A = this chain, B = another copy of it.
Amino acid sequence: MLDFKQLARQYKSELLDRVMPFWMQHSIDREYGGYLHCLERDGSVFDTDKFVWMQGREVWMLSKLYNTVHTPDVSEETRAQWLEAAIRGAEFLKTKGHDGALNFYFALDREGNPLVEPYNIFSYTFAVIAFGQLALATGNEEYADISRRTFDIVLSKTDNPKGRWNKAASGARAMKGFALPMILCNVALEIEHLLPQDFLENTIETCIHEVMDVFYRPELGLIVENLTIDNRLSDSMDGRLLNPGHAIEAMWFIMDLGQRLDRPELIERACHIAIAEAEYGWDKEHGGIFYFMDRLGRPLQQLEWDQKLWWVHIETLITMLKGYQLTGNTECLAWFKRVHDYVWSHFVDPEHGEWYGYLNRRGEVLLTLKGGKWKGCFHVPRGLLQCWKMLEELAARPV
């Protein structure tokens, strides 16, 4: 049996004593606003470019912590610092992050000049949850309005998220991706307080349907990354692609929706899918979960396919713990334990705060960075926060 009380302390301390201090100390750009998030192992800045979705994610994370952490051993001063840093990031996003019409650029230079055009829908989705969560923290109507209006733009782009930067030729084999419906599952709940009830419910039902009935394929027992637009499997590089971490992450979004809608059978299904994905994705030789796989075992175009990524593993911790918490499924608990052991012996850096992001197949550190183009103040603290809270609840249950 796991010692939930001790584990709760471990996750809480990692979050509050080692991970958040890393970001608070190193990432806040007091000169130009926003966050410097390309950080080396020890927190030193190795690049000053600002990737817009990372800015949104850090605003969200800080606001979320401010909104949900009310524990006596976190001082009001610390909470005020989180809020102040969130506002600093949001103001930078508001003034520099978009083109004036809430089209969020992909990248800015340190001063906030646009570097890369708004081709990426995830720059928008993370702005939505950033301003939404900060509106909750501050009651600021302007932030709420930015969140709502950006969400409208996201919904208007679901058919062609890349817009004019889409390189797919018209006609032949049009595909759709799993990432957007999956993220929308999470976004919808995040900004529940900003949406009309019936609109929210419609959006949620659409997302659940896409994830659980469309991208989940009973004939495979797995979720695929891409389908044809008429919802068929495609025997092509994109169509064969699996991303087990993505699928497992989506399953805790679904569990959250199952809780919200009081649909235990949805939670049960999400549990079973998550376990199937973990079993499929686990590297039997070296441990850890692969980044990409091909459902027919063919060679991948993703050269990084066999690497072990931080977000895959922390998201699996959330999903498996939530599965156990909500259903009592002991397979989930066993998976939590297995991935916990891998994570704490591979991703956690005993010397400096935050976790390594990229390990090679053998579990050796491939890149020493703690933050970069695709890693910021998001998955690790979000996962630690969730695991801490769930572990505390489990520890408090009567034996």
Minimum CB–CB distance for A15 against chain B, Å: 24
Q: Is the CB of A116 within 8 A of B47?
A: no
A149-167 CB contacts (< 8 Å) to partner B: 164-165, 167
For residue A203, CB closer than 8 A to chain B, the reply is no
Stretch at the interface among A124-132, A183-191, A298-306: A298-306
Q: Select A237's contact among B49, B113, B119, B300, beta carbons within 8 Å.
A: B49
Residues of chain B with a CB closer than 8 A to A169's CB: 105, 113-117
Identify 28 residue pairs between A and B in the complex whose beta-carbon atoms are under 8 Å apart, listed by A's number.
A40-B298, A40-B299, A46-B298, A46-B299, A47-B237, A105-B169, A109-B172, A113-B172, A114-B171, A115-B168, A116-B168, A117-B169, A119-B167, A164-B164, A165-B165, A165-B167, A299-B368, A299-B372, A300-B367, A301-B372, A301-B373, A301-B374, A303-B303, A303-B304, A303-B307, A303-B358, A306-B360, A306-B366
Closest to A300 in B: B367
Known contacts A47-B298, A236-B47; is-contact A114 B304 (Cβ 8 Å): no
Report Cα–Cα, A373/B301, bound state, in Å.
Answer: 7
Residues of chain B with a CB closer than 8 A to A209's CB: none
Q: Is the CB of A49 within 8 A of B236?
A: yes
- One digit per residue, 1 when the CB lies within 8 angstroms of any chain B CB and 0 when it does not, for chain A 187-226 equals 0000000000000000000000000000000000000000
Residues of chain B with a CB closer than 8 A to A119's CB: 167
For residue A106, CB closer than 8 A to chain B, the reply is yes
Residues of chain B with a CB closer than 8 A to A109's CB: 172-173
Residues of chain B with a CB closer than 8 A to A165's CB: 165, 167
For residue A369, CB closer than 8 A to chain B, the reply is yes
For residue A361, CB closer than 8 A to chain B, the reply is yes
- One digit per residue, 1 when the CB lies within 8 angstroms of any chain B CB and 0 when it does not, for chain A 7-47 equals 00000000000000000000000000000000010000011
| Chain A interface category by residue count | 35 or more
Q: Select A106's contact among B167, B304, B366, B373, beta carbons within 8 Å.
A: B167
Report Cα–Cα, A21/B22, bound state, in Å.
Answer: 57
Minimum CB–CB distance for A369 against chain B, Å: 4
Interface residues, chain A, with chain B CB atoms under 8 Å away? 40, 46-47, 49, 105-106, 109, 113-117, 119, 164-165, 167-169, 171-173, 236-237, 298-301, 303-304, 306-307, 358, 360-361, 366-369, 372-374
Extra contacts besides A40-B299, A299-B368, A301-B372 (18): CB < 8 Å: A46-B298, A46-B299, A47-B236, A49-B237, A105-B169, A109-B173, A113-B169, A114-B171, A115-B172, A115-B173, A116-B167, A116-B169, A117-B167, A117-B169, A299-B372, A300-B367, A301-B374, A304-B304
A47, A113, A116: residue with the most chain B Cβ atoms closer than 10 Å? A47
Known contacts A40-B299, A167-B119, A307-B303; is-contact A373 B114 (Cβ 8 Å): no
Known contacts A117-B167, A119-B167, A360-B361; is-contact A366 B40 (Cβ 8 Å): no
Report Cα–Cα, A93/B96, bound state, in Å.
Answer: 45
The 5 closest A-B pairs by CB, nearest first: A114-B169, A299-B369, A303-B304, A113-B172, A46-B298
Report Cα–Cα, A368/B305, bound state, in Å.
Answer: 13
A165, A171, A306: residue with the most chain B Cβ atoms closer than 10 Å? A165
A113, A167, A301, A369: residue with the most chain B Cβ atoms closer than 10 Å? A167
Minimum CB–CB distance for A195 against chain B, Å: 31
Closest to A44 in B: B298
Residues of chain B with a CB closer than 8 A to A117's CB: 167-169
Closest to A298 in B: B46
Q: Is the CB of A114 within 8 A of B172?
A: yes
Residues of chain B with a CB closer than 8 A to A361's CB: 360
Residues of chain B with a CB closer than 8 A to A105's CB: 169
Report Cα–Cα, A10/B119, bound state, in Å.
Answer: 50
